[in-house]
Structure 1
Amino acid sequence: MDLLIILTYTAFCIAIFKIFKLPLNKWTVPTAVLGGIFILAGLLLLMNYNHPYAKYAKDVFVTIPIVPQVTGTVATVDVQPNIEVKKGELLFTLENTKQKIALQQAEAALAEAKNAVLQKDESLVAATSQVQKAQAEYNRAKTENDRVQQGHKSAGANSPFTQQELDNKLSRFKSAEATLATAKSEQRRLKLVTESKILGENTAVAQLQAVRDDAKLNYERTFIRAPVDGIPTQIAIRPGTRASQLPLAPVMSFIPTEKRQIAGVFFQNSLLRLEEGMPAEVVLDAVPGKVFTGTFVSLLPAMAEGQIQAYGSLMPASMIAKHGFVIGIIELDEDLNDYNLPLGVQGQAVVINTENDILHVSVVRRILIRMMAWLKYVYPIK
């Protein structure tokens, strides 16, 4: 862009010398040269500081690595590359015979447990009836035993009850008492089993439901679906490919459908003139002669050139000496998809600082960015 300004000034000087037929001598030529140095130097300083220029700008986008949550062999590939799909649409499937068998086993065990719970409920009803029956037998035996014992005690030597009758009544009473205790114990056991619940469900059934849900989840994970609306691209998997659940081995790249943004690389001396909401203009190598308007939306809060991590090596001095650039994000007013452009196209960008544009230097910046757009018909210069 600086070269364009110099060439433009040179063209103006040549035109003036030709039109007005000025002589080339020791006065006119130095005047033109020195005037150009002062004028262009002041213009460049004001323009580069107040209206930041990104020599390198690019359409940035996010890709989602598709990694299956279970390991298996690819059975089918159900999408075409570079064709947009909706969230939840099937991308590919894994062989799932093992997961299907595990799910059937879990469902069978759950059905058996539910049936067992119903049987235990019936057993509790029967045990309750046994307690009632034993209680009635106990009450009758106790009444007869008390009556005989009381009558024998009251009659004394003239008692009509023999010792054998007394022993029989007492023995029947003790037997009824033991039967009642046994029936109550069985009733308590079945009651504990049937009333053992978690979140309103029998504990044994709840455990098998969890096993069934886990098996069902593993079965469903053999069907890999689109995480969001987007485009699967560069599909290299085929039936028979081994797909691992390790996150270091994705089997497909997926590009989510999002609003496209331009990331520009700016010099650090432009930081005080980069504010959110400022107007911006972008030219792309792929669209010669076109200037895209937009808005500067954000400045990334950190530069990669300054980051350090905890590891066993010392930080080299070369990392400190490496010059860092700030990255700003620009959102365009137009949709680049209307131009059928692939993601990742590159170009240049400028941010216009209208508040500090006292001398209206932004006009020059706008003219230069348009000149660059026209030159891209010939060659995409930087």
Structure 2
Amino acid sequence: MIVWVIAGLLGLATGLRIGWALVNKQSLVSAAMILALGSLGLVAALNWEPLTLLIDTLVRWPNVSTVLSQVALISCAAGSCVMITSAASERAPAVIRRIAVVQYGIAALIAALTLVAFFTSPQQPEMAPQEYLRRNLGSGAMTVSWLLPLLYVMLALTLVAWAGMRHSNRTRRGRALFVFTVGVALMVLASAFFLLRAVGTTEFIGVGAAATLLGCAMLVVASGSLLPSVEDWFGARHELRVIQPLLDELSRRHPNVGIGVRPRGPLLFRVAEQMSMISDALYLEATRALGDHTVGEDFDDDAGTPDVEPEEQARRIAEWIDNGRQRPGDDADATFPGPHWLRQPPSYSDREWILAIADQYRTLENRVSVSSS
């Protein structure tokens, strides 16, 4: 059951990455992430004993699912390594692609050697994956089919963990990368324990404990991969609630702004689309308030943003919109603070500035509702 939970989470993370790649332009990083997560999900699935027995029976070679798990783990390490090196590299795209091809080539060679070593070895009786590891990881069974893939996985994932820690930060993507990197570090630790077992040092940890550690590592990797999507969904829901009052008011004043809008689709796209509608409506409101003047000319002057705190600037814009709701007409236009007040502060992005204005407007609307009741 736990194996399928891990495999399901990794499959969900892989599916989300595939969906994101289909919606957006496919990239080397996305393809590498899909390969890494999909391969790790395959590792989890192949350790489910009924599936292991089914594959061994279909292939007619005992314990073949174990070597397939090794190949999948090599693919995971290669995909993770390509993903982190491509995302962190500042080289030209052509150079990054060449480096990725070299990394995939090395992984393919090691996977091929692992398969050759397995199929040229004498067949053994059918057994559970954990029992197979316990019997074959030891000084008497130290072959290239174990040493080479374990060394590659450990070295590649060590590079991923090092680069991941370097680029982790407090942003939404940085937090997800940190969780992903913690899972990769646990995989490095599990690989090191398996390697110690392979060279005959068995007193440190058993195969069962190492396999449990690997399962925990896969669970953490899956959590880190899903974290951005979960945070994006909750963040988008919160942003929709924040901008809804301002959007409703501006849509009432300028209904043509929403013509042609398709509200269905990914939640993040809907938020971006509605923020674009708010931005257009604010421009139209400023144009009407200025009368004969044009907003574009006023935005091109050197007045800059007002010398006030961003919260105060957003509050003034929100009060102007609120005045138009309570006293529509020239009285509201007279309270327009000026086009330069609509410019976002240097420390704000377009998205953050719309959210700041919408948040101040919602606060004003709630205050009016409470006082009237």
Structure 1 length as normaliser, TM-score? 0.21
Structure 2 length as normaliser, TM-score? 0.21
Which one has the largest radius of gyration?
1
Q: Which has the higher strand share?
A: 1
Q: Which has the higher helix share?
A: 2
Q: Larger relative CO (CA 8 A, sep 6+): 1 or 2?
A: 1
